[in-house]
């Protein structure tokens, strides 16, 4: 899932408007922000397999440190306690922890059984990505709900904020549709060619932060 994760970050603003969208983007995408770093470091492995699923041609061969249930629980606890401690709010800590763990749940629904439970051993996944129409429809629906909730949390957005926000939404949609319907990477694409561009996710975090930051 891609924009579905961002939808959780956008929607979370309705529950905790005091937290900047950039923080929620880090939380909802933490696993995918860590993943390219580990792939480039040679710790996790990805390759191209055009038959992997109908939606993604990526074969996530080995990614227990970024995408196992065990590590997701660890990341969620760390993120939740850290935010709760910095903002001195148990409630905000719990919300950030839940947004962090939502990533694994959404990936579990969409991925084929390649999601590790522990660092080795059994892998799970419901494989929604094998039904292109259903996968894209559900993800677009979740994304729309996220946008709706975000806008409900923002009553008076300035014109420049609106432009920044909607260009971010359009940018995410274009990346998503290009990934789904665009040309697939070649079979012999090295890991770095796949993971390198994924690092750009950090720029989306920055974009979310800027769009949502408080003006004084
Ligand atoms: Zn993921």
- Residue-level pLDDT at 118: 98
Q: Which of the residues in the chain have pLDDT under 50?
A: none
Q: What is the pTM of this model?
A: 0.96
Whether residue 115 contacts residue 124, with contact meaning beta carbons closer than 8 Å, is answered with yes
Q: Which residues, including other chains, have CB under 8 Å from residue 114's CB and lie 6 or more apart? A: 59, 60, 123, 125
How far from chain centre, in Å, is Cα 169? 14
Boundaries of every domain in the chain = 3-212
- Residue-level pLDDT at 216: 55
How many whole angstroms from 148 Cα to the centroid of ligand 1?
A: 23
CA angle 127, 65, 20 (to 5 degrees): 85
How many whole angstroms from 125 Cα to the centroid of ligand 1?
A: 12
**pLDDT one-digit tens code per residue, 33-48:** 999 999 999 999 999 9
Q: Which residues, including other chains, have CB under 8 Å from residue 168's CB and lie 6 or more apart? A: 204, 207, 208, 211
How many whole angstroms from 154 Cα to the centroid of ligand 1?
A: 28
**pLDDT one-digit tens code per residue, 177-216:** 999 999 999 999 998 899 999 999 999 999 999 999 987 5
How many whole angstroms from 204 Cα to the centroid of ligand 1?
A: 15
């Amino acid at each position: 899932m891609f924009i579905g994760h961002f939808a959780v970050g956008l929607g979370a603003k309705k529950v905790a408007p005091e937290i900047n969208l950039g923080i929620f983007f880090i939380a909802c995408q933490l696993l995918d922000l860590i993943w390219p770093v580990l792939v480039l470091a040679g710790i996790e492995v990805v390759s191209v397999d055009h038959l992997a699923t109908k939606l993604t041609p990526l074969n996530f061969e080995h990614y227990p440190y970024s995408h196992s249930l065990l590590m997701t629980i660890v990341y969620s606890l760390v993120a939740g306690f850290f935010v709760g401690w910095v903002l001195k709010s148990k409630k905000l800590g719990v919300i950030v922890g839940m947004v962090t763990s939502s990533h694994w749940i959404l990936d579990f629904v969409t991925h084929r059984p390649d999601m590790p439970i522990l660092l080795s051993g059994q892998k799970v996944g419901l494989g929604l990505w094998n039904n292109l129409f259903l996968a894209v429809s559900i993800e677009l629906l979740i994304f729309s709900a996220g946008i709706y909730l975000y806008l409900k949390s923002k009553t008076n957005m300035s014109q420049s904020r609106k432009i920044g926000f909607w260009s971010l939404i359009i940018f995410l949609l274009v990346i998503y549709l290009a990934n789904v319907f665009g040309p697939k990477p070649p079979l012999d694409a090295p890991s770095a060619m796949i993971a390198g561009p994924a690092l750009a996710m950090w720029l989306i975090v920055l974009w979310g932060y800027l769009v949502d930051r408080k003006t004084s």
